[in-house]
Amino acid sequence: MTEHTFDRFEFKSFINKAIEELGFREPTEIQNKMIPLFLKGKSAIGQSQTGTGKTHAYILPMIEAIDPHRQEVQAVITAPTRELANQIYHEILKITEHLENETITTRCYIGGTDKQRTINKLKQQPQIVVGTPGRINDLVKEQALFVHTASVLVVDEADLMLDMGFLHDVDKIAGKMPKELQMLVFSATIPEKLKPFLKKYMENPAFEHVQPKQVFAENIEHILVPQRSREKVDLLKEMLVSYNPYLAIVFVNTKQMADKVAEQLSERGLKVGKIHGDLTSRDRRKMMKQIRDLEYQYIVATDLAARGIDIQGISHVINYELPRDLDFYIHRSGRTARAGNKGLAVTIYGQADEDALVQLEKMGIEFTHLDLVKHEWVEIKDRNRRKNRKKTVDEVEIKARKFVRKPSKVKPGYKKKMKEEIEQIKKRERRVNKRSKNQGK
């Protein structure tokens, strides 16, 4: 078998075979840091951005630690979205299918599926549980799923879990698990509100922070397009048609806006898919299949898709609205330029977005300023040019204003009268200045 640097972890032969088949040659930084900690039974927090290989940082050592002869729950993985839970589940299956003569049973429990049917099937407990916190907690409350036998809990995308209000359910699940629980938490950021939960279940955990080589990947071009006085959705439609992308994802901030933009683009003749939290499980599965089958060239999505869903082949990311949390700009733009490909992250902006754009520039992003004029892309001046230009002081204006005072008793039209007086004085001063210059020649 071909030698690879995963050999140092001394995984079982079937795991090494799976690694080879997946085409992994070298562990990522987060894998190098977290796999040894997992194998030693230590609790740990891994902070790293999307796309750093953190899923395999926990599923590889987890599968290594599972005892195939113990038919009880041994490990639980919680994920904030159904799509992410499904992805983790299928990644585990890609490895456990290489087992010979033995089996490791993994089950995925997510909302939107028949709960009673799931309960009926739980007469035999799985060894690895993957799912969304709400559904796992429901099954534990129904006394159908027994997590008290598990020694490992993984909390993936913990900051998103917090944002979506699911940490309460994770807390309930952890509370039913052994006191000497090994907990692995993975998160892109560690917000203050997450810390009490971590402190409750983790005593002196190892902390590994993987700094991204660059906050923004080199092969992504970041473009700003001014809205100006145009109808925003018309500009978006024109941009999408002009780009003719392999697959473009248009990001908005709310489910309502996703519905609105998708509908408006459809009315303008584009076939558009949409992804947001209000779609039923069946509709989301259908939509994901249609996207993978390339039935759509354009998708309108909320930030759920930036972190919780892995869609292959996105060539263009368009921010119809900038995210309220600017960290999500990183996650959004990170959907494109995967596997060494180039990608575009394009933002439609107005005056209200200026503060957010300044913050992104401080984070190290360099924008190209373009506009779509008569169906052609043209480079335009940097929007900061006015700020960077030194303001010239009009001394004549200052002098004129000294001579014109606001009357103590104001009458209707006094402002107009003051303005006329100032203009007269300015004209007189300029004539004097011009005459002086001519005499000096």
Mean of pLDDT values over 91-103: 93
Mean of pLDDT values over 134-142: 95
Instruction: Give CA separation, 347 vs 103, 178, 303, 316, 356, in Å.
Output: 48, 48, 15, 11, 12
Mean of pLDDT values over 300-319: 81
Mean of pLDDT values over 238-264: 94
The bridge status of strand 316-319 relative to strand 248-251 is parallel
Higher pLDDT, 221 or 276: 221
Confidence check: pLDDT of 3 > 50 = no
What is the pLDDT at residue 81? 85
Tokens of 119: 């309960």
Residue in this structure with the two tokens 């209707």, named with its chain if needed: 412
Q: Label residue 375 left, alpha or beta by phi (over 0 means left) and psi (-120 to 50 means alpha).
A: left
Higher pLDDT, 240 or 254: 240
Confidence check: pLDDT of 349 > 60 = yes
Could you tell me what percentage of the chain is helix, strand and coil, using 3-state DSSP and rounding each to the nearest 5?
45, 15, 40
How far apart are alpha carbons 123 and 115 in whole angstroms? Answer: 14
Mean of pLDDT values over 261-276: 94
Confidence check: pLDDT of 97 > 70 = yes
Q: Which residues of 67-96 are buried (b: 16+ CB within 10 A; e: fewer)?
A: eeeeeebbbbbbbbbbbbbbbbbebbeebb
Cα torsion for 349, 350, 353, 354, to the nearest 10°? 110
Confidence check: pLDDT of 69 > 90 = yes
pLDDT digits (tens, 9 = 90+) for 356-410: 898 888 878 899 999 999 889 999 988 876 554 444 445 556 655 656 665 666 5
- Which range among 29-33, 301-305, 377-381 shows the weakest confidence by mean pLDDT? 301-305
Tokens of 365: 């992003």
What is the pLDDT at residue 340? 66
What is the pLDDT at residue 114? 83
How far apart are alpha carbons 108 and 106 in whole angstroms? Answer: 7
- Which range among 7-21, 29-43, 292-306, 385-399 shows the weakest confidence by mean pLDDT? 385-399
Q: What is the CATH number of domain 220-387?
A: 3.40.50.300
Mean of pLDDT values over 166-188: 93
Cα torsion for 161, 166, 172, 177, to the nearest 10°? -30
Q: What is the CATH number of domain 5-209?
A: 3.40.50.300
C-alpha angle 23-24-29 in degrees, rounded to nearest 5 = 160
Tokens of 362: 């401080």
Higher pLDDT, 409 or 275: 275
The bridge status of strand 376-379 relative to strand 367-373 is antiparallel
143: three-class secondary structure by DSSP: coil
Mean of pLDDT values over 39-43: 95
